[in-house]
Every structure is written in structure tokens, then in C-alpha cells.
Chains A and B, each alone.
Chain A
Amino acid sequence: MKIVIINYGAGNIQSIKFAIERLGYKAVLSDNVDEIKNADKVIFPGVGEASSAMNKLRESGLDKLVPRLKQPVLGICLGMQLMCNSTEEGDTKGLGIFDVDVVRFTNEVKVPQIGWNQIRDFKSELFDGVINESYIYLVHSFYAPVCKETISVTDYGINYSTALQKNNFYGTQFHPEKSSDVGEKILSNFLSSTK
């Protein structure tokens, strides 16, 4: 199985590669259109700030490629947010895969949310074998509200989407690669999915 992690700038993308390796698979980092197109599974990580990340995607033409991918694609953290219609961070237009607009947490809670929170209301095989209200690791200031593509919900002042799915596209606000055994189970589910 060929797993490609889209490499479009600076940031911590080694961790997802190491997590995949711990599960017994291999993954390559790439920004090459053909290599990404021909992968069996594509990971779209989150890197830094939204508007500069989106600019990098545009410069390399990846903004056109990602929404057309047919194989399973997993966006993580900012990756998931960029797969939405838009995000308030840097007033950025997204890839429009998920029909939802990402907004900032209000100051009624501490922003960014950093740490371990719980996921529930699963609506996808991505969570097969995962116990309701399991803990996952999050670090973010912006969130996707609950929408028709929501496949898991978390409470931080409000209920919001911690995961989204539309056809072959998956997104997690949390970091499966940093969420201990629960995260590894979710990542393993994604890597064995056939959609």
C-alpha cells in the first residue's frame, strides 16, 4: 500500500509519518502531483496558519488536486479546516470539500484549546472499535460547527465537529498521531478503509 503525506511547508509532519510506521506501514512525504494522485491513501496534514498554508497549496497547484482525489484522504487539524468552505483564520477560502465554515472559539473559553478532550456521537467506520467518549489530543483556536458531514462531536463551551466525512474524504480536528492508543486505532481504521 502506498501512503503519501502531502508535504506543503514547514511544521510537524514527521509525527504522522512515525505514527504510520508504528502501525507497520510505510509513508512518504511528497508535494508531487503524480505521486499524490497514484497513492492508495493520502494524508493531508495541518501546517501553521491557514492563509499562508492555503497560499502554499495554490502555488503548487495542490488546491486543485486535493478535491479531485478518489482514494481515501485524511485531513488532520488545519488540514481538515482547509477542506471546509472557508476559515475565519486570515479570512481564508478553503477547498470546499466539507460544506461548513470554520470559525474561532469565543473568549468564553481559553483559546487555543490545548489538551485531551472526548469524542462522541460517531457516524463513521473511522471510529470502529473506538469507545464512546474516548480521549483524543487537540490543539486549535478555530473549529468547524456541527453540520451534516459531522462524524464526531466534542464539547468545548459549545458542541462542535471533531471529525468530518464526505465520501472518500475524512477530516479530524484532533491529532490521531498524538492521541495515544485511541488515535492509533482511528489511524489504523483509516489506513484499512476501502472507500
Chain B
Amino acid sequence: MLTKRIVPCLDIKNGRTVKGVNFVDLRDAGDPVELAAIYAKTGADELVFLDISATEERRKTLADLVRNVAKEVNIPFTVGGGISSVEDVDILLQNGADKVSVNSSAVKRPELVNELSAKFGSQCITVAIDAKQIDGEWIVHLVGGKVPTELNLFNWAKEVEQRGAGEILFTSMNNDGTKNGFANEALARLSSELNIPIIASGGAGNMQHFVDTFKEGKADAALAASVFHFKEIAIPELKEKLKSEGIAVRL
């Protein structure tokens, strides 16, 4: 049976792992390559590296980091942050990334999703969407959640699916950093309206939150950062908990 994935996210700034609370006030949580190798050994199913400074600072590539990670780890990883062209993706994939995620650049130029999936295949193109619920409506935001757009989360997600996205990484800005659980209602709706995998992001605080996002939120994967980086949740224990709740996991 296909298992639910546990995905530690390593936010990267200047080559170091950081995790912000609501994307502000960054804390340093170590060397990304070392951390990645530890996660691979302790049962993480996949890793995501997001260069959170990239959108504002226009940092184009993480090529060296990607190469060092690919040398060390034997599980798949996704790289995002500042990717805006076929050339950007080519460099990352050639250095050993398995998937890339695009966010702001796809909102600014949706054809990018078509171009990337035609060239590299849908399976390696993740579209990351940051959204905030405002007056009951989920609005897509840019620049780490700072800038609202005109786009509705569900319409945008369906559009990128049609354009060839292989997966959606949905971060709820209402939940991110709160440690109060994932945005399961919106996640379940995404999962029922789309036919590509959905990664839940934003709000992980305890192990029950993961149970809930797989059961109620119908997520295919759950992403978290600080609860893993600061050892509040150990992945082997988390997986035992999920298994005891009847959720398929790789042990």
C-alpha cells in the first residue's frame, strides 16, 4: 500500500537551516547536509529544502547544497525558492534534486508550470501555495505570505493541476507557526477536488496533529520543520503512533 509521507522541511538561508515563526524571527537549527542525513537515517520519507530568502533576495540556485545533499542522502528531496525558469530547474535536477517546487513565479507567470512539466515531467514539479483564510475565503499569498493576490486557493490549485503540476504543497498561513494543527478542512477539500497528491504544511505541534491531517485532512504527506528540528517529535515514534492509528507508514 502507498504510505503517507513524513516530510521534514529545511528552510535555508545563507546555507544554514532556519525556521521562522510565521516566517519572521528566524532561528538557526544547523547544517542542512548533516541534518538531512540524520533525517534519512531516522525514517523521514522525503525532504524539502526551501530557500526562504530567495523570493526577496533573488538568489537563483542552491546548486552546491543540492549536490552535497544528493551525495549524502538516499531518500528523495525537493528544492524550492526563487525558481523561475526551465534553466533554474535544469541546474537543480542535474545536481541531484528529485523534485522542485515553484510558488511566486508560477503565480506571476502560470505558463511556467506547463513549460516545466513538458520538459521534465509532471512527477518532478511541485507547486507550493501559501494561503490565508480571510473572511471565510482562502486567498493565495506571495513572498512568504506577506503579499495577498487575487487568487482563490482552490481555483489556483485546480489551474496548476491542469497545467501539469504533479503535486501541491499547501501551507496555511493561519496555521503556520501556531503549533495548533494543520488546516484540515481546506486540505480535505483540496484532496477531493484534485487528483494529484497534496502535502499538508503549517501548524504541526504534536503527533495527534499528524494523525488528524491524514485522517480528516486526507493529506498524502505532512510537512513540518521546527517540531523535528528541535526534537519535539521524533520521527520513529511518530510513525509508530500513526501505525497504531491504522495509517499506512513506512517503518
The residues of A with any CB-CB pair to B shorter than 8 Å are 10-15, 18-19, 21-22, 48-49, 52, 78, 107, 110-118, 135, 137, 139-141, 155-156, 175, 177-181, 183-184
Contacts and interface: CB of A to CB of B under 8 A. Distances in A.
B67 A49 contact: no
A12 B220 contact: no
A177 B196 contact: no
23 contacts: A10-B94, A10-B119, A10-B120, A14-B70, A14-B95, A15-B98, A18-B71, A18-B96, A21-B71, A48-B119, A48-B121, A110-B197, A112-B167, A113-B2, A114-B220, A115-B2, A115-B46, A116-B3, A135-B250, A137-B76, A140-B123, A179-B75, A183-B74
Given A10-B90, A12-B97, A179-B74, A118 B120 contact: no
B167 A114 contact: yes
Contacts of A181: 74
A147 B196 CA distance: 27
Given A114-B197, A118-B1, A178 B74 contact: yes
B220 A110 contact: yes
Given A12-B96, A49-B120, A112-B123, 18 more contacts: A11-B93, A12-B97, A14-B67, A14-B95, A19-B74, A22-B74, A48-B120, A107-B195, A112-B166, A114-B167, A114-B220, A116-B5, A117-B3, A137-B76, A139-B98, A139-B123, A141-B122, A175-B76
Interface string B221-233: 1000000000000
Interface string B129-169: 00000000000000000000000000000000000001100
B195 to A, nearest CB: 5
Given A114-B166, A137-B75, A139-B124, A180 B40 contact: yes
A183 B4 CA distance: 19
Interface in B194-247: 195-197, 220-221
B45 interface: yes
Contacts of A141: 122-123
A185 B122 CA distance: 28
B21 interface: no
B251 to A, nearest CB: 8
Interface in B41-56: 45-46
Contacts of A11: 93-94, 120
Interface residues of B, number: 37
Given A110-B195, A116-B5, A116-B250, A12 B124 contact: yes
B74 A115 contact: no
A49 B121 contact: yes
B118 interface: yes
Contacts of B118: 49
B166 A155 contact: no
A183 B74 CA distance: 8
A29 B18 CA distance: 35
A15 B197 contact: no
A116 B45 contact: yes
Nearest to A19: B74
A178 B123 contact: no
Contacts of B197: 110, 112, 114-115
A79 to B, nearest CB: 13
B220 A115 contact: yes
B165 to A, nearest CB: 10
